[in-house]
Amino acid sequence: MYGIVNKAIQDLVVKEFGTTAWEKVKVRSGIDVDFFISNQPYDDSITYSLAQAVSEETGLTLSQVLIAFGEFWVLHTGKEKYGSLMEAGGASLREFLINLPNFHSRIMLIYPNLKPPEFRVSNVSENSVRVHYFSERIGLQDFVRGLLQGLGKLYDLPVEIELLQSRDDGSDHEIYKISW
Amino acid sequence: MPNQKFIFPEQQFNRLFPFYFIIDSDLKVLRVGKSLSKLLPEMEQKKIDEIFIFKRPGHDELSFQTLGQLNQLIIIESKGAERITLRGQFEYLDDSNHLLFAGTPWFYSMDQVKAKKLTLHDFAINDPMIDLLQVLKTEEIVSGEVKELLEHMQRQKNESQTTAQRLGQLITNLQAGILLEDENRKIVLTNNTFCQMFGIPVPPEQMVGWDCSLSAEQSKHLFTESEAFVEKLQTY
Ligand code: HEM
């Protein structure tokens, strides 16, 4: 994944646990990269090793780490680095989710090595939306959950997130129902 | 003017959208913009799924109906060796029951544009594609430089680590006793001879980080002449 993703993991660890903890995470993961450049592609295995090492170092489960990372991505990385892009996504959570499919499609064109997820929305109602998540990558369901939770917080809405189907139970993609 | 119609002669429409195409309800291509036909000369009368792979959306069952309703960025890539990427949108044309694709090819560099034998004149004047390539190029140069800088720093770091290791080994085995403290009186470095001089029963590496102001007091019980040891150390 692009360096920005690994950098965000670094920022999360440093913010919540301090720089020493991040150095330990790096040693534990066995990754010898001093500095991640946001717009350079890195092997996916680096991201997965980092997430695993954060879990071992902090005692959080991998699932908790991914959820925390998802929230951090929206509330810090997204807000601080792509503030206006995030805001351009919509004036409300509902509008943002409806625009979600276009989000990575646009980024994808600028970064040719991107293998971004694909989103689709269905069953749009006044206070709920179904978000369909298609990805070439595995094991990131809780990351998506964290992202959606983060979006709820971004729009100051208490949200309920239900995973209706998943590749884990044989479907070809995940469906999340977000209600508020 | 809610129902005003805009009618363009084809030549003018071609100036605005030189990469347009129109399909009928069987998804068959009827007409192709002048620049697009330079890129993909044999589109007419073919069905779009013979010509293109849908990248975005990539997971929908695509029918004339759904394409007309998709209010979404479309990214399609031509099949075969050419691999032309187009980004744009579909619009339903009421009068003729056709779909219009309005968009532009997407390139990653000016070299690609040249390789496809396109020139500036093949793009609409309002199309920012070429300018974007300029921006991307600058970004590519800068990130190349950042990468080079990082590699340079990584090399320097490795070199200074090796030097530090060598010096460390040299000091460990030096015949003179050495103890180096930092400004907080923490041990940074010491060696075997020092430990032997004071009869300290632990290896020198283990003493790194010890607080000298306390450690002398704390470790005095390890020594036969404990008070003398503390006194002696204070003088260093
Ligand atoms: C400004 C906002 C955002 C930016 C700039 C952004 C950018 C990115 C980038 C660069 C990647 C790495 C993909 C790769 O290297 O192949 C990524 C992955 C991902 N993004 Fe976003 N994103 C944003 C917002 C969101 C939001 C709001 C969601 C979902 C609700 C989301 C869901 C994901 C997921 C699930 C992945 C993991 C990759 C996968 O499943 O294959 N992103 N994004």
- Give the mutation candidate from A95, A107, A113, A118 for the B interface (greatest B CB count, under 10 A): A118
In this complex, do B75 and A109 lie within 8 Å of one another by their Cβ atoms? yes
Q: What is the pLDDT of residues B130-173, one digit of tens each?
A: 898 888 889 889 989 999 999 999 899 999 999 988 988 888 88
Is the pLDDT at A119 greater than 90, yes or no? yes
Q: Report the Cα A58 to chain-centroid distance in Å.
A: 19
Range A70-179 classified under CATH 3.90.1520.10: yes
CB B200 within 8 A of CB B226: no
Mark which residues 38-57 of A lie under 8 Å from B by CB: 39-40
Average of per-residue pLDDT values in chain B: 88
How many CB atoms are located within 10 Å of the residue A24 CB? 18
Q: What is the pLDDT of residues A135-171, one digit of tens each?
A: 999 999 999 999 999 999 999 999 999 999 999 999 9
Range from A70-84, A158-172, B154-168, B210-224 that averages highest in pLDDT: A158-172
Residues B128, B176 within the same domain: no
Residues B77, B184 within the same domain: no
Q: What's the structural domain count of chain B?
A: 2
Is the C-beta atom of A66 inside 6 A of ligand 1? no
**Which residue in chain A is spatially nearest to B57 when comparing CA positions?**
A118
Separation of A151 CA from ligand 1 center, angstroms?
Answer: 13
Q: Among residues of chain B, what percentage have pLDDT more than 70?
A: 90
Range of the domain at B63: 10-135
Nearest residue CA, atom 11 of ligand 1? A116
Residue B143 placed within a domain: no
Residues B211, B96 within the same domain: no
Domain CATH number, residue B71:
3.30.450.260
Residues B177, B126 within the same domain: no
Residues B127, B179 within the same domain: no
Per-residue pLDDT, B223? 59
Residues in chain A closer than 8 A to B143 (CB atoms):
37, 39-40
Residue finishing a domain among B135, B155, B177: B135
Is the pLDDT at A54 greater than 70, yes or no? yes
Report ipTM (2 d.p.). 0.84
Please state, in angstroms and rounded to a whole number, the distance separating the CA atoms of residues A120 and A133. 7
Contacts 24+ apart (CB under 8 A), B43-48: B48/B23, B48/B76
Q: How is chain B split among helix, strand and coil, in percent rounded to 5?
A: 45, 20, 35
Is the pLDDT at B4 greater than 60, yes or no? yes
Residue finishing a domain among B86, B116, B135: B135
pLDDT band at A4 (very low <50, low <70, confident <90, very high): very high
Residues B120, B14 within the same domain: yes
Q: What is the pLDDT of residues B89-125, one digit of tens each?
A: 999 999 999 999 999 999 988 899 999 999 999 999 9
Nearest-Å Rg of the Cα atoms of chain A is 16
Is the C-beta atom of A146 inside 6 A of ligand 1? no
Separation of A84 CA from ligand 1 center, angstroms?
Answer: 16
In this complex, do B56 and A105 lie within 8 Å of one another by their Cβ atoms? yes
Is the C-beta atom of A135 inside 6 A of ligand 1? yes
Per-residue pLDDT, B216? 60
Is the pLDDT at B1 greater than 80, yes or no? no
- Closest CB from A34, A109, A118 relative to B87: A109
Return the closest-CA partner of residue B48 out of B2, B11, B7, B86. Answer: B86
Residue B208 placed within a domain: yes
Residues in chain A closer than 8 A to B154 (CB atoms):
34
- Domain borders along chain A are 3-60, 70-179
CB A105 within 8 A of CB A121: no
Residue finishing a domain among B93, B115, B135: B135
Give, in degrees to the nearest 5, the angle at Cα B100 between B98 and B105: 150
